[in-house]
């Protein structure tokens, strides 16, 4: 089982308590009417789907209930870092490994 | 045959009598007001608990607290919080009837919980509480001491959780 660090609980907890919630840092356009059909489609459906580090949302649904963001390697499933919602994506060079 | 085992030397399981349970959501900045209203300092860190007399509170989320009090004081607590609502916006929900509390006590209590609870219970300090899972049912797990736990479980999940505990108890009693 994966162990995930919740930045709100400041604790490393079993994956069962968490729910995945898609790619992080996708901002809804402030004025959807200004978007072309293609731009709106890209916002709604097109995701980066990288092989490697991926910034994604998680929710501690069976714990504190909060959404937060994580950097996870999609190949190894290893979480590099988790951070509170609203914070910018951490600089990878400075990303700290989450202690076990 | 197969009479239910509720307790033996190593561990016992019992459903506790009703208690007033309240769920409080309030901005952490207003915690002092809530503490004064409830009559004990509400803990500020997730997981921590605080007890005074027969009232107790645990912090379950960044802005969420679980409050326990004797059943007869429930109406008074609701009224007390209603009185400060105008100046301190918050949500106080009575969840007394939503849940049952199961007490698990004895030297093997931690081992019995590990049957269906994914948490690393060795790292859980006495006096703390966590919302977590028991098998697939969401519960609040309270640790009163090294050998004493309480599980707060929704009444609709209770038969499932209770059945799992009964099976585990029988296995423990057989020495499995």
| Per-residue pLDDT at B1 exceeds 50 | no
Q: Write down the pLDDT at residue B5.
A: 64
Q: Which tokens in the block code for residue B154?
A: 């929704």
**Which residue intervals of chain B are DSSP H helices?**
31-38, 74-84, 109-113, 158-174
B60-110 residue pLDDT tens: 999 999 999 999 999 999 999 999 999 999 999 999 999 999 999 999 999
Fold of B20-97: Alpha-Beta Plaits (3.30.70)
Domains observed in chain A = 3-84 (3.30.2270.10)
Tell me the CA distances in angstroms from B112 to A6, B15, B81, one per residue in order: 26, 16, 38
For residue A65, which residues of chain B lie inside 8 Å, CB to CB? 61, 64, 131
Asked if A9's CB is within 8 angstroms of B46's CB, the reply is yes
Asked if A64's CB is within 8 angstroms of B118's CB, the reply is no
Determine the CATH number of domain B12-16+98-174.
Answer: 3.30.1360.120
**How far is residue B69's CA from residue B57's CA, in Å, rounded to a whole number?**
9
Q: Which tokens in the block code for residue B29?
A: 């900045």
Which residues have C-beta within 8 Å of that of residue A93, sequence separation ≥ 6? none
What is the arithmetic mean of pLDDT over B34-63?
95
Domain boundaries for CATH 3.30.70.1520 within chain B: 20-97
Q: Write down the pLDDT at residue B4.
A: 60
Residues of A with CB under 8 A from a CB of B: 1, 8-11, 13-14, 16-17, 62-66
The answer to whether the beta carbons of residues A68 and A83 sit under 8 Å apart is yes
State yes or no: ipTM above 0.85: yes
Nearest residue, CB atoms, A66 vs list B62, B120, B132: B62
């Amino acid at each position: 089982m994966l162990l995930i660090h919740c930045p709100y609980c400041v604790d490393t907890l079993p994956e069962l308590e968490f729910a995945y919630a898609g790619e992080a840092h996708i901002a809804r356009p402030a004025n959807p009417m200004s978007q072309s059909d293609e731009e709106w489609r890209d916002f709604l459906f097109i995701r980066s789907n990288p092989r490697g580090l991926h910034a994604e949302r998680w929710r501690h649904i069976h714990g504190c209930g909060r959404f937060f963001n994580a950097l996870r390697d999609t190949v190894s499933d290893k979480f590099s870092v988790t951070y509170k919602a609203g914070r910018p994506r951490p600089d990878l060079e400075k990303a700290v490994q989450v202690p076990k | 045959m197969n009479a239910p085992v509720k307790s033996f030397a190593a561990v016992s399981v019992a459903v506790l009598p009703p208690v007033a349970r309240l769920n409080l959501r309030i901005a952490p900045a207003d915690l002092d007001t809530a503490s004064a209203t409830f009559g004990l300092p509400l803990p500020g860190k997730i997981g921590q608990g605080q007890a005074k007399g027969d009232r107790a509170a645990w912090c379950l989320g960044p802005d969420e607290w679980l409050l326990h009090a004797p059943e007869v004081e429930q109406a008074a607590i609701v009224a007390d919080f209603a009185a400060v609502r105008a100046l301190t916006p918050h949500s106080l929900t009575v969840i007394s009837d939503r849940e049952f509390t199961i007490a698990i006590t004895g030297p093997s209590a931690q081992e019995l919980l590990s049957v269906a609870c994914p948490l690393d219970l060795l790292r859980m300090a006495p006096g703390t509480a966590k919302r977590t899972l028991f098998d697939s049912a969401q519960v609040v797990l309270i640790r009163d001491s090294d050998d004493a736990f309480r599980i707060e479980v929704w009444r609709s999940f209770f038969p499932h959780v209770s059945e799992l505990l009964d099976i585990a108890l029988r296995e423990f009693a057989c020495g499995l």
